[in-house]
Amino acid sequence: MDVSGAVRKALKNNKTGFGFRSTINSLMTGKCHAVVLAGNCPRRQASDLERHAELAGVPAVRFEGTSLELGELCGRPFMVSALAILDPTAASELSRQKK
């Protein structure tokens, strides 16, 4: 399964958090199982999210499209630069792909 498929699976189960702050909060509270970053996520935010994900032992993967395309994939009328996957099964698909 690719990144898009894992995102769709998590969205179907209503187990996502949108945006930088929501993703950071999910990582800090231990609710997040994976992080998806848009290809054009601002460098500083991406490095903060990747650092927090590493500390939490959670995979952080890049979505090859832009934040606008990630927002469209999520069915949102706005850009999504970061996405927290709260669904463990969708996250396991991402972690298998990352290796």
Residue ranges and CATH numbers for the domains of the chain are: 3-98 (3.30.1330.30)
What per-residue confidence (pLDDT) applies to 94? 72
Tell me: pLDDT of 88 over 90.
no
DSSP per-residue string spanning 15-70? -EEESHHHHHHHHHHT--SEEEE-TT--HHHHHHHHHHHHHHT--EEE-SS-HHHH
Q: How confident is the model at residue 98 (pLDDT cuts 50, 70, 90)?
A: low
As beta bridge partners, residue 85 has 16, 34
Q: Give tens-digit pLDDT for 24-63.
A: 999 999 999 999 999 999 999 999 999 999 999 999 999 9
- Residue type for 29, please? T
Distance separating alpha carbons of residues 78 and 70, to the nearest angstrom: 9
Question: Residue 57 and residue 77: Cα distance in Å, rounded?
Answer: 31
pTM, entire model: 0.87
Mean pLDDT of the chain: 89
